[in-house]
Structures are given as structure tokens and as C-alpha cells.
Structure 1
Amino acid sequence: MMLDRPWKPDAVLRMLAGVMLGWSLGILVGAVLGQWLHPEAPHTIRFYHFVITTVSLHGVTLVLAHQLLRQHQVCWRDLIGWAGPGLGRALGLALAAGLFMTLGALLLNKGSAWVLEQVRLEPTEQPTVKLLQLTVGWGQRLAFGLGAIVLAPVVEEILFRGVVFGFLRQVFRGSVAYWASALAFAAIHMNLLTFVPLVFIGLVLAWVYERTGRLVAAMLTHALFNAVNFTLLSFQHELTQWLELWRDRI
């Protein structure tokens, strides 16, 4: 099982350093680009900034992950675990965990918002969420959808569960690997409102990976969660109208 195969510490550290460097350069390029675009188009600026930072983080992660696998003589199929007996059972568990994780994260998000209000801090959504709520064009919505439902679950699970959690699991005993990888996963999103829900999500995804031994299961759980949130954010007006119409008919 890939989860039990050891990662070389120096190779993992080089990969993580490269990921952080690529992400930082993406943020810098996005900020510079924002100075060149017309200020009367803030949504366009934010969208291009989203594309640049997403490509820099996820693209660099995939390239460095490929190098890491070559150093360990591991193929992508073994890392992701999309073949072999028990795949159907693992995916079924992933779907069930996705539903549980979605409900739990929504409740924790509401609780986090209430706590922030009690300490006189304004609950602020992630910049990506704000941008998606303001996006009207279908081209940009499609880009967001592909990024959220396909790219992010694949790349983030490779990085945080496949590499970070897997490496910490071979170094530390007990729950350290769970909590450390979940805290890192939440911290990289840089949002106070969603920090606790994201820690919870990180814990569930690590459990799915360890329980099934298949990274593809954690990817599916992650994708289901993102798909639900993307649908709610993208079609909240249409969903509200549909619910009101349904309520009037009852």
C-alpha cells in the first residue's frame, strides 16, 4: 500500500520548498499584473489573479510531485490508487464521507461566524468565494468549476494527504500526522472564518486516505465537497427562486 511506503525526508522538504516558492511567485506576478490592468475592471483583475495563483500553486505541485515519484520509483497509478480490488468499496466510503464532511463543515462555518461576531471581528469569506459570487460570465464560471471540482481536489490531495500526511505519518506516532497536515491545509487558505472548518475537512480527508489506502478516495471526497459548495455559490439565486416556488406550492 502506497501509504506505508516511506518518503525520503530531503526529497519531501525540497518539494515543499519548491511549492511555496512557486506559489509566492504566482502571488507576486498576480499583484504586478493587477497594476497593469484597468482599475475600472476589478472583477477581471481578481479573476486573472485567481488564475495565476491557481496555476502557479497547482502546476508547480504537479511538476514537483512527478519528480518526487521518479526519485522513489513510484508511478502515478500507485500513488493515486485507482486500480486493484476494493476500489468500489473505497469510493463508496469516500462518497459517504463527503456528505458527512459537507454537513459538518457547513455547521462549523456557521459556528465560526458566530464566534467571530462575538469578539467583534467581521466574518470574511475567502477571496475566491467572493469572486465566484460576483461572477456572471459562463466562461469564468467554467474556469472556477474546473479549478474547484477537478484540479484542486487532485492536486491538494497529492500534496497534503499523499505527501505531507504520508511523510508525517512515518515520522510521528499517534495523531500528530492528522493534526499537523490538517492545520497546514487550513493555513494555506489564509482565511480566519474557514480555518476551523478546513481543519475538520483536513482530518476527514486524512482519515479517508488512511482508511482506504487510496488517494483517489480522498480526491473524490474533496471533489464532492467542492462540487456542493460550487453549486450553492454559483446558482444561489436560482436555488432561492426554486425553493420559494416549491414552498408556495405546498
Structure 2
Amino acid sequence: MKLLEDLRFSSYQISEEHEPFLRRGFYALLIIWPLAFLGFPLIFQWANKYLDHEQYMGLAILVPQLILGVAVLCVIKSKGRTLEILNLKHWEWRFLGIGIALPFPLLILIGLVSWVWRLTLESVGISLPEETALELMIKNAGPWLFVHAALLAIIVAPLVEEILFRRIIFGFISIRLGNLCGLLLASSLFAVIHLDWKNLPGLFILGAVFQIVTMCCKSLYPAIIMHSTNNAMAIGLLYALRKGWIEL
């Protein structure tokens, strides 16, 4: 009975005490996001002549994530309560099992959904690129950039993105419009922001599952671990393609 109650959207509530911090984080996100991902690459062009291509690309994909994460953390920081506000205060060892096990069946579901999505688009004459710019960069990168991108995808991105989407954005929206609207809007933004149109529905499902798991476990840890595991599998697949071990 308790499990069924936990699974209800209405049973998950964000503390009113956390609302001011989440609001500040959301507004900081709106301001810093375009600066970090659009302004920074333009400003950083001057460094291109001092760095080789791989060093430049490595910094270009790392620094915006760090700027965004650090800036949001700074505005929501509260003495002795930051982990609580981020939904990271509560840890259970079962979170590790959930985070590692769930991405495998989820990968199959997302693969099927993405396959149907591409077939549907092709049937109406819409053609999508097979690989994103980031996928092409990772697949063709030298050893240094590949390792750098892998560490970013497996460690930095899951932590930053889960805090931003599953806590800040979802929290800000759910307090005002309810949990279901929060889940739908945060998951939609998560899907769109990756600019991977061939896997758009799959990314939405991924974001929605991350959010549901967060709500059921009442902790952000399982979603962070799931996100990391999912990205590790994606990097592993790109590495296998790069080495010619498999063909798609």
C-alpha cells in the first residue's frame, strides 16, 4: 500500500522552505544557460590559436557545464542545507542497484521507440541525420579528447543535468503547476536540449523515467547513477563502433 502511495504523483511534495532556493536557481538558469552555451564559445574563440583542436574542443564542452552547475549551486547554497535542498541528503545502498540495473531494460525500450519514430518520419518524407555533432566528434576524436568526453558524459553531465532538470526545473514548475506538468515540461526540455532529433521521443522517456524514479525514491541519487550508467553504455557503444567491433 505504501508503494502505491509513493507512486502517485500527488504524494510527492517539495517543501515550501525549499521554494525560494529553487526559484533563485531557476532564474539563474534562465540567465546563465544562454551565456554558458552560446556566449562562452564565442568569447573563447580567442584561445583557439593557443590550443590544438582537441584541447579547444575539450574545454568547449566542459567549461559551459561547469559554469552552469557552479552558478546555480552558488545561488541556492544554504549553510548546512544545500544537500537537503538538492534532494541529495538521503542515501540508501539500494539506490546503487536501481541506478545500475534500470538503464538496461530502459535502453531496449528507448531503442524500440526511437526506431518506430524514425520509421514514422521516413514514411512522411522527413529525413534526420544518423549521428549528432557530439556523437561524430566523440567517434572521431583522438585518445585525449575521447577520454575527456567520456569522463564528462559519465561523471559531470549526470550530476549537473540531474540537479538542473530533476530538481531545479521540475521543482520550480511542480510547485506552481503540479507534479505531472513539472514532469512533462522538464522531460520535454531535457529531450530538446540534447539536439538529437532522431532519438527525441526516447530522450523524453529517459527524462520522464529519471523523474519518476526520483519521485519514488525521494532522492536524486538513483537518477544520477542511472544517467551515468546510460551514458557509459552510449560511450561504450561509440567506442565499439570506433574500433570496428560492431556495425550499425
Quickly name the TM-score band, shorter chain normalised: 0.7 to 0.9
Q: Does the alignment pair 1:97 with 2:102?
A: yes
Counterpart residue number, 2:33: 23
Cα displacement string for residues 174-231 of structure 1 (whole angstroms, at most 9, x for unaligned residues)? 5212111101111222332222111101110001101111101110011110000011
Cα displacement string for residues 149-173 of structure 1 (whole angstroms, at most 9, x for unaligned residues)? 0001001000111222233333333
Deviation at 1:79, TM superposition (A): 2.9
Report the count of equivalent residues.
233
- Contact 2:41–2:60 (8 Å) recurs in 1: yes
- Contact 1:30–1:48 (8 Å) recurs in 2: no
Cα displacement string for residues 95-130 of structure 1 (whole angstroms, at most 9, x for unaligned residues)? 232222222222222223223322323222322112
Counterpart residue number, 1:246: none
Residue among 119, 125, 128 paired with 1:120:
125
CA change 1:10–1:119 in 2 (3 A) is: farther
- Contact 2:21–2:85 (8 Å) recurs in 1: no
* Paired letter, 2:25: M
* Paired letter, 1:134: N
- Give distance in 2, aligned partners of 1:98 and 1:149: 13
Residue among 69, 83, 87 paired with 1:76:
83
- Contact 1:81–1:215 (8 Å) recurs in 2: yes
Deviation at 1:49, TM superposition (A): 4.8
CA change 1:28–1:62 in 2 (3 A) is: closer
- Give distance in 1, aligned partners of 2:103 and 2:226: 4
Aligned runs of 1:24-103 on 2, under 5 Å?
Answer: 24-26=34-36, 27-31=38-42, 33=44, 37=48, 44=53, 48-49=56-57, 51-70=59-78, 74-76=81-83, 79-81=86-88, 83-84=90-91, 87-103=92-108
TM-score by length of 1: 0.78
| RMSD after superposition | 3.1
Residue among 187, 201, 204 paired with 2:206:
201
Aligned runs of 1:76-225 on 2, under 5 Å?
Answer: 76=83, 79-81=86-88, 83-84=90-91, 87-124=92-129, 125-135=131-141, 137-173=142-178, 175-225=180-230
Deviation at 1:145, TM superposition (A): 0.8
Gap regions ≥5 residues in structure 2 = 1-11
Deviation at 1:83, TM superposition (A): 4.7
- Contact 1:91–1:217 (8 Å) recurs in 2: yes
Deviation at 1:13, TM superposition (A): 4.3
* Paired letter, 1:193: K
Deviation at 1:11, TM superposition (A): 4.7
